[in-house]
Amino acid sequence: MKAIKYILTGIVFGIIMIKSEAVSWYRIQEMFRFQSFLMYGIIGSAVFCGVLGIAIIKKLHLKNNSGNPIQFEPKDKRWRKYLIGGIIFGFGWALTGACPGPVFVLLGHGYAVMGMVIVSALLGTYVYGRLRSYLPQ
Amino acid sequence: MIKILSQPWPWYISGPAISLIMFLLIYFGKSFGFSANLTNICAMLGAGKRVKFFDIDWRKQQWNIYFLIGSVAGGWIAAHGLQSPGPIQISNATIKDLIKLNIPFDGKLEPASVFNMHYLFTARGLLIFFGGGFMIGFGTRYAGGCTSGHAISGLSDLQYQSLIAVIGFFLGGLIMTHLFFPIIFN
């Protein structure tokens, strides 16, 4: 039963991703060419609402559904990995026009080529795990 | 209702809706970070036996796998029950730029001339889908998150590390689009 609420949340997420057109290769190209406001509006308004909501959660010390205080884990302080990893991710984002969530949403939509993206993303993740100790963090 | 939902959604609906997904997961005691699933699947497939990085208890992340299954189903539902009534409307400037790259705009979500199995097994297709996928997997784990984990969750929590990652995402995307695309597609 616990699974159902996460599956339902995922279904809503998938529908939002398709109907917002944020999964579209064309929309990602528009964004990286600064030729449309759509993607900036989507990400910007999501972050705007997110900042407000999280500030309220922290201010009012809100609890989650199991009654525990909501906490946010601080991230690793080192910065190189965020920039280098981010740039590599950006290459893949522009090429495929999709990030990890949309890759799966698009597979559900019927784009079978996304199966290849999933397999190679898993391979990329695995190779990162193997090479981790040799990479600047 | 279905008719309204089937229209393309404006950004001021989609953006807040994405933040609601994040808040729902926070309320469930979880966090919104899709790419963690790539690590989870590697761990499920037994990568933990060979590489310590994957030696995690993926069962604790099972909820995220359910979320993933839901998102695949959501894509299917949107494609079969909520199809947009018309072609997608992108800017003329982008259409012109893409013609120069030999990618005609066809009004679909993804360019049909590229997103097909035949194209996948060409040199360009392998670079886009295999190379692109590899870089998504490698980069996202290196950076410790993707668009959901950093651009949405991290920025909402005002974490400067996420801002660095998002700057990286955009730098990478801009370099790929403006420097490499003309080479790849010509």
List, as ranges, residues 104-133 from A with C-beta within 8 Å of B: 104-113, 116-130, 132
What is the per-residue pLDDT for A26? 98
A46, A75, A76 ranked by CB distance to B15: nearest: A46
What is the per-residue pLDDT for B167? 98
| A25-54 tens-digit pLDDT | 999 999 999 999 999 999 999 999 999 999
The string of DSSP codes covering chain B is: -HHHHHSPPPHHHHHHHHHHHHHHHHHTT----TTHHHHHHHHHTTGGGT-GGG-S-GGGGHHHHHHHHHHHHHHHHHHHHS--SS-----HHHHHHHHHTT----SSSS-TTTSSHHHHTSHHHIIIIIIHHHHHHHHHHHTT--IIIIIIIIHHTT-HHHHHHHHHHHHHHHHIIIIIHHHHT-
Q: Is the pLDDT of residue A76 over 80?
A: yes
How many other C-beta atoms are found inside a 10 Å radius of the C-beta of residue B173? 24
Rounded to an integer, what distance in angstroms lies between the CA atom of residue A23 and that of residue A94?
Answer: 12
What is the per-residue pLDDT for A78? 87
Bridge partners (DSSP) of residue A63 are: A69
Q: Do A91 and B39 touch (CB under 8 A)?
A: no
Q: Does B82 touch chain A (CB under 8 A)?
A: yes
| A6-23 tens-digit pLDDT | 999 999 999 999 999 999
B114, B127, B164 ranked by CB distance to A86: nearest: B164
User: Which of B169, B171, B185 to probe the A interface (max A CBs under 10 A)?
Assistant: B169
Bridge partners (DSSP) of residue A52 are: none
The interface predicted TM-score (ipTM) is: 0.96
Q: Find the closest chain A residue to B169 by CA distance.
A: A90
Q: Is the pLDDT of residue B163 over 90?
A: yes
Q: Do A76 and B142 touch (CB under 8 A)?
A: no
Quote the tokens at residue B48. Answer: 């933990």
Mean pLDDT of chain B: 96
Q: Find the closest chain A residue to B4 by CA distance.
A: A19
Q: Do B133 and A92 touch (CB under 8 A)?
A: yes
| B108-161 tens-digit pLDDT | 999 999 999 999 999 999 999 999 999 999 999 999 999 999 999 999 999 999
Q: Does A56 touch chain B (CB under 8 A)?
A: no
pTM of this structure: 0.96
| B31-88 tens-digit pLDDT | 999 999 999 999 999 999 999 999 999 999 999 999 999 999 999 999 999 999 999 9
- Kindly indicate the confidence band of residue B5, based on its pLDDT and cuts at 50, 70 and 90: very high
